[in-house]
Amino acid sequence: MANSPLSQTQQIGDFFTVAESFPVNLHQLEEAAVVPDEWEFESEMPELFTMASNMAGSDQDLLQQLKMDSHQSPVLVQVLEQMNQRMITMLGYLLRYEDDPKHRFQGTEFGGGGIRLITPDPIDNDTLFRAKLFFKNESLAIYCYLRCSACESLADEPGYSATFEFERILEQDQEHLIRASLHSQSRQLKRRAQERDQSKNNSDDNKSD
């Protein structure tokens, strides 16, 4: 995929990234640590992250199907949407306790191939981490393994920008991230359109004075 023309970011692997701030928890693993296989990974995944992954997919797909079914009552769809939102809100509240301030970093970009974040200290390439990613706008939380593929000093402030590629992630979580990156792009486009409209209105008001 090509780089995102909107956010002017560099892709990670075969996927474009979007610029958006989000919290990341990183736990550096020992040099001898190995990435778990799929069965071990799913077995060790905290239950709340499994629930978040399942809810981000199946419930939204079901609601979309109901909306497309002309035989379904709009009231029924509305009630189910409200119930789904309440469950997501409750899950989001519980997931806040998974975000450990002692291991928190500020994510700056994400996509289907990995993430970028700001770190005060350099990170060696090929270093393996167990990670938790939190996306409030999407009510999404992801448990995964990341490997550092690049780390560069920031040009205009202290610290470093580190790039991480996914070493282990649920396939459906990767799909959720791709969808979330498209949603983020849509929000940015809408915000820019509103800013242009506001700027145009201000300019027109100044001309009329």
pLDDT at position 81 is: 67
Which pair of structure tokens corresponds to residue 78?
Answer: 């509305």
In-domain check, residue 76:
yes
Number of domains in the chain: 1
pLDDT at position 2 is: 39
Cβ-contact 6, 18 below 8 angstroms: yes
In-domain check, residue 146:
yes
In-domain check, residue 1:
no
User: Which of 8-22, 54-68, 113-127 is least confident?
Assistant: 54-68
In-domain check, residue 8:
no
Q: If you average pLDDT over residues 103-128, what whole number do you get?
A: 96
In-domain check, residue 140:
yes
CATH number for the domain harbouring residue 148: 2.40.10.220
In-domain check, residue 130:
yes
pLDDT digits (tens, 9 = 90+) for 83-94: 666 666 777 777
In-domain check, residue 9:
no
In-domain check, residue 21:
yes
CB-facing half-sphere around the CA of 192: CA atoms within 13 A: 8
pLDDT at position 1 is: 40
Task: Answer yes or no: is pLDDT of 160 > 50.
Answer: yes
Q: Which position has the token pair 């201000």?
A: 202
Q: If you average pLDDT over residues 155-175, what whole number do you get?
A: 95
pLDDT digits (tens, 9 = 90+) for 39-85: 999 999 999 899 888 877 555 556 556 666 656 567 666 766 666 66
* Owning domain of residue 193: 17-29+37-208
pLDDT at position 185 is: 85
